[in-house]
C-alpha cells in the first residue's frame, strides 16, 4: 500500500507540473501577441503561434495522469546554513520524460568521494581461523605501508552497485586536482554516471589516512576543508533526482554543517518526488564531538529514511545496549551473533521506516519490519592471499546488493521470503568482494619498486598484474 501511495503522489506531482507548464505557455503566447503590431500579417503569425501552443498543451494533456493534483507532504528540518537557500523544485519544472528511462531503475548515491590510504594488512574481529593470521608475518598491527584506495563510502557503494548490473549516478563535489581527476576517471571507468558531479578549482579533493589500533579503534586523519563539504544545495542536479527511484546517503555527509544542509535538502526534494530513501549509518564515532550530538543529527536523517542499514555496534550504540563482545579473534562467542528482539529495536521505528537491516560482516544479516523479523547466517573465511587480512571489504558490496534487490522488486520490500533471499544474495556478494579485493591488494610491493610519498602523502599501490609483470620483467633482464 505504501508503494501505491508513493506512486499516486508522484503522479499527482507530475500532473501539477504539467498544469503549471500549460499556464506558463499560454501566458508567454499572450505576451508575444500583445507585443506584435496590429496588422493582417501579425494576425496570421499570432494565429499560427496560438495553434502551435494548443497542439503543445493538448499533447501535454494526453500524457498527463488521471489523478487530482495534490501537494506532497513536506518534511520539516531544523537545519540552518549560512548563505544557502532551500532547493525549489518549481524552478526545475519540465515535461514528463519518464518514458525515456531505461532498466534497471536509476539509483542516486549522494556523498563523499575521496582517496583513502588504508593499512595493507589488519586483523579482523570476525568469525575467522585465527591460526592463519598468527602465522602471517606480513600482517601488522601498526603497518608501515598503506594502499591507496580511491573511494569514500558513497562512491564505493556506487561502484559496487554498477558491478552488480545496477544503474548509478553519483552526486557530489570533487576538487579539480590530481586526486579529483583520478576519482572522476575511476567512477567513469566502472560505469558510474558522473553528470551530477561538480568540480571546484579552488579547493582540494578529500584525502584520508586510516589506521587500526590493537583494540580495533579507527584512527583517521583527513584533509580539511575539502571539496566534498563545499557542495551547495543550488548545485544539486534535480533531473537525476527525478529519474532515480532510490536515493542513498550516509552519516558522513552530516559531519559538516554546509554538507548537512545540502544533504537534507536533497533528501527532502527526493521524498517530495516519491522516491525511496536508503540511509547507511556508517558511523565513525571518532569524527563526532559527542554521542549526544551524533544522535541529534542522525535522528533527522533517520526519520526521513525508508530503508536503514546499520552494523551490530551501531545498533547497540543507538539502542543503548552494552556490547558484550571483545576485540579478540579467538573469541567466537555466540553473543556476537545474537538476534535482538523486536522490542529492543522498536524505539528506533518511525512511520516512514519500512525495513531495518543489521549486518555483522558476512557472518550474519538481520532484518526487521513492523510485522516480521529474522536473520540469515553467512560465512567468512580468511582471504586467499596472505599479505592482507582486511575483512572489512564486504560492507560496500553488502549494501550495494541490498539496494540492487530493492530497486528491481520494490513491492516485495517487506516480504519475509524475499528479505531472506535478499540477505543470502548480499552475503554472497560480500564474500566474493573480499576475495576480489585480496587479489588486488594481496601482494606486497617489492623493495625496489616502492614509491616515495609525495604531495598529500600519496603512496604507490601494487596489484597482482603489477606484481607479476614486474617479476617477469626483472627475470628477463637478469
> For position 71, what pLDDT does the model report?
39
- What pairs with residue 367 in β-bridges? 357, 374
In this predicted model, what pLDDT tens digit does every residue of 192-205 receive, in sequence order? 999 999 998 888 88
Torsion sign over Cα 258, 260, 266, 269: negative
Q: Which three cell numbers stand for residue 213?
A: 589500533
Q: Which three cell numbers stand for residue 151?
A: 573511494
Eight-class DSSP state of 105: P
The H or E element spanning position 7 is: helix 2-35
**Whole-structure pTM value:** 0.69
**Residue ranges of E strands in 80-166:** 106-110, 114-119, 146-151
CA 401 to CA 429: how far, in whole Å? 7
Residue 261's SS3 state is helix
Measuring CA to CA, how many Å separate 163 from each of 157, 197, 307, 442, 451? 10, 20, 22, 21, 30
Nearest to 108 by CA among 60, 172, 44: 172
Q: How many CB atoms lie within 10 A of CB 224?
A: 12
Nearest to 369 by CA among 307, 444, 428: 307
Contact 450, 467 (CB under 8 A): no
**Residues 6+ away with beta carbon under 8 Å from 22:** 57, 60, 61
> What are the residue boundaries of the structural domains of the chain, listed by start?
2-63, 103-441
- What pairs with residue 106 in β-bridges? 167
What does 430-449 look like in DSSP terms, one character per residue? HHHHHHHHHHHH-SPPPGGG
- pLDDT per residue, tens digit, the chain (478 aa), is 555 566 566 666 656 656 666 676 667 776 666 665 544 444 444 444 444 444 444 443 343 333 333 333 434 444 445 556 676 665 555 555 554 557 889 999 998 887 776 665 554 555 455 565 555 444 444 455 566 666 678 888 999 999 999 999 999 999 888 888 888 998 999 999 999 999 988 888 887 766 655 555 556 677 777 888 889 999 999 999 999 999 999 988 888 889 999 999 999 999 999 899 999 988 766 666 666 777 777 888 999 999 999 988 888 888 888 766 554 445 555 566 788 899 989 989 999 999 999 998 888 899 999 999 999 988 765 555 544 444 455 788 999 999 999 999 989 999 999 999 999 999 998 888 877 765 555 555 545 544 443 333 333 444 445 545 544 444 445 5
> For position 35, what pLDDT does the model report?
60
Nearest to 354 by CA among 263, 248, 276: 276
Residue 193's SS3 state is strand
Torsion sign over Cα 71, 85, 239, 52: positive
CA 396 to CA 121: how far, in whole Å? 18
Instruction: Write the class of the CATH domain 103-441.
Output: alpha beta
Q: Which three cell numbers stand for residue 318?
A: 543507538
CA 260 to CA 79: how far, in whole Å? 8
The H or E element spanning position 24 is: helix 2-35
Measuring CA to CA, how many Å separate 314 from each of 34, 165, 208, 323? 64, 29, 22, 10
CA 117 to CA 220: how far, in whole Å? 10
Q: Which three cell numbers stand for residue 42?
A: 501579425
CA 381 to CA 311: how far, in whole Å? 19
Contact 221, 207 (CB under 8 A): no
Q: Cα(first)–Cα(last) distance of the chain, in Å?
A: 71
> For position 296, what pLDDT does the model report?
79
> For position 117, what pLDDT does the model report?
66
CA 356 to CA 370: how far, in whole Å? 10
CA 269 to CA 282: how far, in whole Å? 23
- What pairs with residue 147 in β-bridges? 118
Eight-class DSSP state of 127: S
Which single residue is written with the C-alpha cell 533471499? 421
* Helix, strand, coil % in the chain, rounded to nearest 5: 45, 15, 35
What does 172-219 look like in DSSP terms, one character per residue? EEEESSHHHHHHHHHHHHTT-EEEEEEEETTSPPPEEEEEE-TT--EE
Amino acid at each position: 500500500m505504501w508503494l501505491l501511495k508513493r506512486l499516486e503522489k508522484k503522479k499527482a506531482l507530475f500532473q501539477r507540473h504539467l498544469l503549471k507548464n500549460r499556464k506558463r505557455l499560454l501566458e508567454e503566447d499572450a505576451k508575444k501577441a500583445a507585443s506584435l503590431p496590429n496588422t493582417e500579417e501579425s494576425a496570421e503569425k499570432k494565429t499560427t503561434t496560438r495553434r502551435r501552443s494548443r497542439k503543445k498543451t493538448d499533447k501535454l494533456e494526453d500524457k498527463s495522469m488521471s489523478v487530482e493534483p495534490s501537494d506532497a507532504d513536506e518534511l520539516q528540518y531544523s537545519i540552518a546554513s549560512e548563505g544557502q537557500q532551500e532547493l525549489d523544485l518549481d524552478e526545475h519544472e519540465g515535461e514528463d520524460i519518464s518514458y525515456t528511462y531505461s532498466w534497471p531503475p536509476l539509483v542516486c548515491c549522494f556523498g563523499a568521494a575521496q582517496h583513502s590510504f588504508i593499512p595493507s594488512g589488519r586483523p579482523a574481529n570476525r568469525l575467522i581461523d585465527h591460526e592463519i593470521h598468527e602465522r602471517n608475518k606480513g600482517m601488522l598491527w601498526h603497518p608501515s605501508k598503506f594502499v591507496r584506495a580511491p573511494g569514500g563510502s558513497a562512491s564505493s557503494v556506487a561502484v559496487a552497485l554498477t558491478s552488480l548490473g545496477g544503474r548509478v549516478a553519483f552526486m557530489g563535489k570533487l576538487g579539480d586536482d590530481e586526486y579529483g581527476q583520478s576519482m572522476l576517471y575511476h567512477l567513469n571507468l566502472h560505469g558510474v554516471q558522473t553528470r551530477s558531479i561538480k568540480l571546484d578549482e579552488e579547493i582540494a579533493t578529500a584525502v584520508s589516512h586510516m589506521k587500526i589500533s590493537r583494540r580495533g579503534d579507527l584512527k583517521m586523519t583527513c584533509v580539511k576543508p575539502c571539496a566534498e563539504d563545499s557542495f551547495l544545495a543550488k548545485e544539486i542536479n534535480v533531473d537525476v533526482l527525478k529519474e532515480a527511484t532510490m536515493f542513498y546517503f550516509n552519516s558522513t555527509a552530516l559531519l559538516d554543517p554546509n554538507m548537512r544542509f545540502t544533504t537534507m535538502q536533497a533528501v527532502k526534494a527526493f521524498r517530495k518526488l516519491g522516491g525511496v530513501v536508503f540511509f547507511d549509518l556508517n558511523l565513525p564515532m571518532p569524527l563526532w564531538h559527542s554521542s549526544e550530538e551524533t544522535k541529534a543529527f542522525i535522528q533527522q536523517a533517520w526519520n526521513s529514511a525508508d530503508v536503514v542499514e546499520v552494523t551490530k555496534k551501531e545498533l547497540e550504540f543507538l539502542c543503548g545496549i552494552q556490547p558484550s563482545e571483545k576485540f579478540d579473534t579467538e573469541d567466537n562467542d555466540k553473543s556476537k551473533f545474537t538476534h535482538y528482539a523486536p522490542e529492543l529495536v522498536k524505539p528506533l521505528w518511525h512511520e516512514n521506516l519500512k525495513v531495518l537491516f543489521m549486518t555483522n560482516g558476512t557472518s550474519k544479516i538481520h532484518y526487521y519490519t513492523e510485522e516480521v523479523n529474522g536473520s540469515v547466517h553467512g560465512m567468512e573465511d580468511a582471504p586467499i592471499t596472505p599479505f592482507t587480512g582486511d575483512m572489512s571489504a564486504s560492507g560496500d558490496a553488502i549494501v550495494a546488493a541490498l539496494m540492487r534487490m530493492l530497486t528491481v522488486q520494490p513491492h516485495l520490500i517487506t516480504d519475509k521470503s524475499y528479505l531472506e533471499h535478499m540477505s543470502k544474495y548480499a552475503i554472497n556478494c560480500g564474500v566474493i568482494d573480499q576475495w576480489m579485493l585480496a587479489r588486488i591488494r594481496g601482494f606486497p610491493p617489492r623493495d625496489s619498486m616502492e614509491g616515495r610519498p609525495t604531495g598529500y602523502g600519496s603512496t604507490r599501490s601494487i596489484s597482482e598484474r603489477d606484481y607479476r609483470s614486474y617479476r617477469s620483467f626483472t627475470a628477463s633482464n637478469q
